Amino acid sequence: MSKYLISIVGPTAIGKTSLSIKLANHFNTEIISTDSRQFFKEMSIGTAAPTEAEMNEAKHHFIHHKSVTEHYNVGSFEKDAIALLDTLFLKHDIVIMVGGSGLYVDAVTKGLDNFPEVDSSIREKLNKLSTKGLKHLQDQLKALDKTSYNTIALDNPHRVIRALEICIGTGQPYSSFLNQEKVSRNFKTISVGLTAERETIYKRINERVDNMMEEGLLDEVKSLVKFKNLNSLNTVGYKEIFKYLDGEVDLDFAISEIKKNTRRFAKRQITWFKKDKDIEWFDYKSGTEEIIDCINKKIQLNK
């Protein structure tokens, strides 16, 4: 039998974790996470990482396996995830993958564009500059690589910094390294997407942020203040509260900013995944059996 990776995607707070556990139990298999923020063990509440109870329902990989002090990027993840899949496919014909970090999903299913290694000090300098505002970095990217400036998500500091890092480190445009011939995979991917009306997604996001605050997000962020300049902490749910702790804004404003920035992130996720015409989309309320039936039919068609 061919080996299959069932990739569950969609915007944040849509219910991907719950579906992944149900599918893992149905197919008697394990789960790989592609949520790039859930890799870090110090970041639990603000990343909506699976709870201990959820982790006990199915075996998870790439959850809290790194520290925020460790450098871990999408290239490292691709190598680790493919190596793990080679092992998992020795005992399972099907493996579940779940997460909303589109670049990390594509790294596993399609392979990454091949970027050269650049001096890590470049990223460190760019991260420091980003604390003074994103516009300066955006203008710098426009000067160095207008193609990337016109195509990447300019409101995403990680994307802007990554593009600049390559431009500066190689002396060539970031865009010149894109769309190279990708590697082939020894498994087939079946992609399942969860979706809902935008108003529903936004409502679920707002409720999730309120729940995070009740669960202790403020204290979690306080415990990470000494690491706030690290790239791993330059993310929604943390950077807004750092501003509150620095006295720049009040707490209610910080919470409203988390909700707003998470909604923006969800919009970017939807845009990213909608480009993939191979994803089978389901309403977030769809029954698990309906989704399983679709997966089984796809497997039968590939036999």
Token couple for 87 = 């092992």
* Residue 22: DSSP 8-state: H
Instruction: Give the C-alpha distances (Å, rounded to integers) separating 275 from 6, 232, 279.
Output: 18, 27, 9
**Confidence tier at 105 by pLDDT (50, 70, 90):** very high
Token couple for 257 = 């900013």
Mean pLDDT over all residues of the chain?
93
Question: Which pLDDT does position 182 carry in this prediction?
Answer: 66
**Which tens digit of pLDDT belongs to each residue from 257-276?**
999 999 999 999 999 999 99
SS3 101: coil
Distance CA 28, CA 219 (A): 37
Contacts of 101 (CB under 8 A, 6+ apart): 34, 35, 36, 37
SS3 164: helix
Question: Which pLDDT does position 116 carry in this prediction?
Answer: 83
Question: Which pLDDT does position 181 carry in this prediction?
Answer: 64
Question: Which pLDDT does position 71 carry in this prediction?
Answer: 86
Question: Which pLDDT does position 184 carry in this prediction?
Answer: 82
Neighbours of 3 (CB within 10 A): 17
Could you tell me the pTM of the whole model?
0.84
Distance CA 267, CA 59 (A): 30
Q: What is the mean pLDDT of residues 234-256?
A: 96
Distance CA 8, CA 60 (A): 14
Comparing CA positions, the residue from 96, 25, 37 lying closest to residue 63 is: 37
* Residue 176: DSSP 8-state: G
Name the E strands within the chain: 4-9, 31-33, 60-61, 94-98, 188-195, 280-283
Distance CA 282, CA 195 (A): 6
132 pLDDT higher than 80: no
180 pLDDT higher than 70: no
Query: Percent of the chain scored above 90 by pLDDT?
Result: 79
Question: Which pLDDT does position 159 carry in this prediction?
Answer: 85
Contact present, 38 and 64 (Cβ < 8 Å) = yes
Contact present, 8 and 98 (Cβ < 8 Å) = yes
Distance CA 124, CA 230 (A): 8
**Which tens digit of pLDDT belongs to each residue from 34-66?**
999 999 999 999 999 999 999 999 999 999 999
Domains of the chain from N-terminus onward: 4-112+182-301 (3.40.50.300), 120-177 (1.10.20.140)
